[in-house]
Structure 1
Amino acid sequence: MIVDDDPDDLWMFGHLFMRACPEPGELSLIAAADGADALAQIERALATGAPLPDAILLDMNMPGLTGLDVLAALRQKSCLDATPIIILSTAEDAATSERALAAGADAVFTKPDSMDCIARLAAGILRTVLARRNPRPHCNKARA
């Protein structure tokens, strides 16, 4: 799942992830235009028993629900404990990274500024995620 309020970034990351996938048809991308859309899609998947994302790429700076807001909501769902959540931010400061990691992000990257850098990031994320892919149990409850 890619969550970003910038339609150009959604397209670019989606396109480059598809190109980086080693096996055609192995990758199914879910795009969410903002944090509320991402959470709604996760809730729909939980309600219908649809597969949950194997990884979530989450923009930090979005209007409405920020990346940290969405991260906090996702980390309340025990069925997403094993799901890598990767934060992308335009900010390069250590405080942003520390806040995201403390909130449960698995990694924080500064948004790459070129297609080549995004392609390398996508390939690295895919290698990591596909290598540890395993079916997760269905869940429908948040943590207490």
Structure 2
Amino acid sequence: MTEERFSATGRGSTLMLVDDDPDDLWIFGHLLQRACPWPDRFTLVKAVDGVQALARVEAAVAAKSPLPDLILLDMNMPGLSGLDVLRMMRASAALADTPILILSTASNREAADEALRHGADAVITKPDSMHSIAELASTIFRTWLGNRPPLHRDPHRASA
């Protein structure tokens, strides 16, 4: 697995993980790597906050590089909240079709509904055990990434 950059090859899947908790970044990253059915074609991009996540996407758009195939976004972060970042990402045409899954430590129905109204594809209560995180990681590959590495979408290339 490659970390900390978008895939330069344009092949495989790229997942962006945004969380201000370094332990969560490590645990989720490690278990996503273990759950990936094609680790040699998987790129994990980590961002420690919303500002860094938006900057990484902006840099990829400017460089005409592949964008993430899926974004896991923590809801509760200092500074820009997950909801703030979600709104900004959904305002970007480049991320219009990118699944964004919100991770929240609390199951707050009102906050979940607001995230869904602003374009989240799902709101998931953060798992509280390694086993539950591993199950979520497997579900992400099975459900959201289709258990196969898609070719990266290039929003800068015209469709044939």
Match of 1:76 among 62, 76, 91: 91
Structure with more of its chain in strand, by fraction: 2
Aligned 8 A contact 2:67 2:154 in 1: no
Contact 2:28–2:133 (CA<8 Å) still a contact in 1? yes
Match of 2:77 in 1: 62
TM-score for both structures, normalised by structure 2:
0.83
Displacement of 1:134:
4.7
Q: Which residue of 2 aligns with 1:14?
A: 29
Pick aligned residue for 2:155 from 135, 138, 143: 138
Residue of structure 1 equivalent to 2:112: 97
Contact 1:79–1:136, Cα closer than 8 Å, also in 2? no
Amino-acid identity (%): 58
2:144 counterpart of 1:129: yes
Secondary structure of the 2:128 match is: coil
Following superposition, the deviation at residue 79 of structure 1 comes to: 2.0
Pairwise CA distance, 1:27 = 1.2
Do the aligned partners of 1:54 and 1:84 also contact (CA within 8 Å) in 2? yes
Q: Secondary structure at the match of 2:145?
A: helix
Conservation of the 8 A alpha-carbon contact between 2:71 and 2:100? yes
CA distance in structure 2 between the aligned counterparts of 1:130 and 1:102, rounded to whole angstroms: 23
Q: Is contact 2:47-2:53 (8 Å) kept?
A: yes
Contiguous gaps of at least 5 residues in structure 1: 140-144
Equivalent position SS for 1:108: strand
- Where structure 2 has 5 or more consecutive residues not aligned to the other structure, the ranges are 1-15
CA RMSD after TM alignment: 1.3
SS at match of 1:58: strand
Residue deviations 1:39-83 (CA, integer Å, cap 9, x gap): 000000001111100000000000000000000000011221211
Amino acid in structure 1 at the alignment position of 2:124: F
CA distance in 2, matches of 1:14, 1:84: 18
- CA distance in 2: counterparts of 1:118 and 1:83, whole angstroms: 22
Q: Secondary structure at the match of 1:113?
A: coil
* Cα distance in 2, alignment partners of residues 78 and 136 from structure 1: 13
| Other-structure match for 1:142 | none
SS at match of 1:125: helix
Alignment size in residue pairs: 139
TM normalised by structure 1 equals 0.92
